Chains A and B, each alone.
Chain A
């Protein structure tokens, strides 16, 4: 579904990604981790074709997105659902208009029909549609905004891949759990490729099948939870050190549940 081949990218003179390569299969769930400023979010921007690498290729469904015209890029983007950091909801639109945005823009469905589907989607992401559908995004909590953003991404042409940029950052534990459960549910029920960018490793353990750790713009680790647990890579150990206590607890609890 998504192939990243020998990609190097820099903002001006500052190198961000250095010759990284990995693939994500059509129903695979991958968590990309790394310290702040390591280039995690840039990978998502590259996959969407919002930026193009100085060298290397980003292929989505076999097409190099940077070789496409803007119109063709837009078609590719329709296959990918993206949940931005902080949700990036359209603040001048109500919740239902946000959720039904794709349908309002790209289909000729009536407002009633779009509203109906938006209500269904809000229910799917675990929100009380009646209570919030006419509110503005700023009137919602951070966790609710994140779930509305996920609903907005899903109510498009059934995305083949979902990209999440720091989906739980700044949320309280209960909201974090709700959002993570939703991501897990989507990956399993809808059989879509999932890439979650986060620096909250403990949150990621529950649902990811594969972990990629990026340090200083390079892939320091790419493997399963078992391999991560046994990794002797110094950079990886150093990155995991602050999380080690909680990481071990989650590993004890979840590793046996998920394997």
Chain B
């Protein structure tokens, strides 16, 4: 699939369509996830921090947790649940109804026509949706900070701004890019190799969502581990 990324022809229309389907289609999920995750996280930590008289640090903790960990992981999990299932089901159904063979018989490479536009769309849209998720979650944290934890809004945003440094932002963008590869590879692979008709497509779809969710969590751990070693001075 990687080689096909750089091979002609380029399917711009399909890529644009997929970007719309993935981006706009997943936006409401990401917004809901971001707002409630941010609020829940802020609520739990504001209580803990209050015990130490450190409620002013809520913005710092929220930024580190959301931008580096929760935002990328939650957004990727939501996109995996929605998009990976769709990709696997669509390609699997095309396989079981001979449409992939029909593409081949017309001299079209199904990887190039189906997988590459989805990969490109994910590479663009997962980071964009993650940024949305981060912003919404931090805003959710702000609501809790101001109205429940009684932290001043200025203080909260000053703390957020203080932690929006290169290291955190780099990790926050690197993760969704890596996750987009994970989702695209697993979803397309499961679709192309699904067998056993409609039942097989259903099984492949479930496996695709489960596997991509687990791999996202595993990869997230290793990126965090490596980042804490390589970006020590920037965090």
Chain B nearest Cβ from A205, distance in angstroms: 27
Question: When each residue 108-124 of chain B gets 1 if its CB lies under 8 Å from chain A and 0 otherwise, what string results?
Answer: 11000000000000000
A105 B108 Cβ-Cβ under 8 A = yes
* Residues in B whose Cβ lies below 8 Å from that of A75: 107
Q: How many A-B residue pairs have CB under 8 A?
A: 52
Contact B106–A84 (Cβ < 8 Å): no
Q: Give chain A residues whose Cβ lies under 8 Å from the Cβ of B49.
A: none
Contact present for B102 and A88 (CB under 8 Å)? yes
Q: Report the bound CA distance from A158 to B99 in whole Å.
A: 21
B108 contacts across to A, CB distance below 8 A:
74, 105
- Does A188 have its Cβ within 8 Å of any Cβ on chain B? no
Cβ proximity bits A120-147 to B, threshold 8 Å, 1 near / 0 not: 0000000000000000000000000000
Most buried by A among B97, B101, B106: B106
List of A residues within 8 angstroms of B106 by Cβ: 77-78, 101-102, 105-106, 156
Contact A91 B97, beta carbon cutoff 8 Å: yes
Q: Are B107 and A77 in contact (CB under 8 A)?
A: yes
Question: What's the Cα separation between A50 and B108 when bound, in Å?
Answer: 12
A91–B99 Cα gap in the complex (Å)? 9
- B118, chain A: closest CB distance, angstroms: 14
Distance in angstroms between the alpha carbons of A50 and B99 in the assembled complex: 13
Q: Shortest Cβ distance from A19 into chain B, in angstroms?
A: 25
B105 adjacent to A77 (CB under 8 Å): yes
Partner of B104, one of A48, A86, A89, A101: A48
Looking at the complex, which one of A86, A91, A106 makes contact with B107 (CB distance below 8 Å)?
A106
| Minimal Cβ-Cβ distance residue in A for B113 | A105
Residue of A nearest to B101 (CB): A50
Are A88 and B107 interface neighbours, CB within 8 A? no
Residue interface mask A55-97, B partner, CB < 8 A = 1: 0000000000000001000110110111011101111000000
Does any Cβ of B come within 8 Å of A116's Cβ? no
A45 part of interface (Cβ distance < 8 Å): yes
Are A86's CB and B102's CB within 8 A? Answer: no
Q: Which of under 10, 10 to 19, 20 to 34, or 35 or more describes the interface residues of B?
A: 10 to 19
Interface string of B145-160 (1 = CB under 8 A from A): 0000000000000000
Closest to B97 in A: A88
**A88 engages B109 (CB within 8 Å):** no
User: Which one of B99, B105, B109 contacts A48 once the chains associate, using CB atoms below 8 Å?
Assistant: B105
Look across to chain B and name the residue whose beta carbon is closest to the beta carbon of A81: B105
Interface residues on A, range: 20 to 34
The listed residue (B93, B102, B107) touching A84 by CB distance below 8 A is B102
Please, which residues of chain A bring their CB within 8 A of the CB of B99?
Answer: 88-91
Chain A residues whose C-beta falls within 8 Å of the C-beta of B93 in the assembled complex: 91
Query: Which residues of chain B are within 8 angstroms of A105 by Cβ–Cβ distance?
Result: 106-108
* Least CB distance, B10 to chain A, in whole angstroms: 13
Q: Which residues of A contact B109 (CB under 8 A)?
A: 70, 74
Chain A residue numbers with a CB within 8 Å of B101 are 45, 48, 50, 82, 84, 88
Chain A residue numbers with a CB within 8 Å of B228 are none
- The proximity string for B residues 82-105 relative to A, scoring 1 for CB distances below 8 Å and 0 otherwise, is 000000000001100111011011
Task: List residues of chain B with CB within 8 A of the CB of A156.
Answer: 106
CB distance from A51 to the nearest CB of B (A): 10
Provide the B61-101 mask, 1 if CB < 8 A to any CB of A, else 0.
00000000000000000000000000000000110011101
Q: Interface of B with A (CB < 8 Å)? A: 93-94, 97-99, 101-102, 104-109
Q: Can you identify 14 A-B contacts, CB atoms within 8 angstroms?
A: A48-B104, A70-B109, A74-B109, A77-B106, A77-B107, A78-B106, A80-B105, A82-B102, A84-B98, A84-B102, A86-B98, A91-B97, A101-B106, A106-B106
- Besides A77-B104, A102-B106, 4 other A-B contacts (C-beta < 8 A): A74-B109, A88-B97, A88-B101, A90-B94
- Please name the 10 residue pairs, one residue from A and one from B, whose CB atoms are nearest each other, closest first: A88-B98, A74-B107, A82-B105, A88-B102, A84-B98, A78-B107, A77-B107, A77-B105, A88-B99, A102-B106
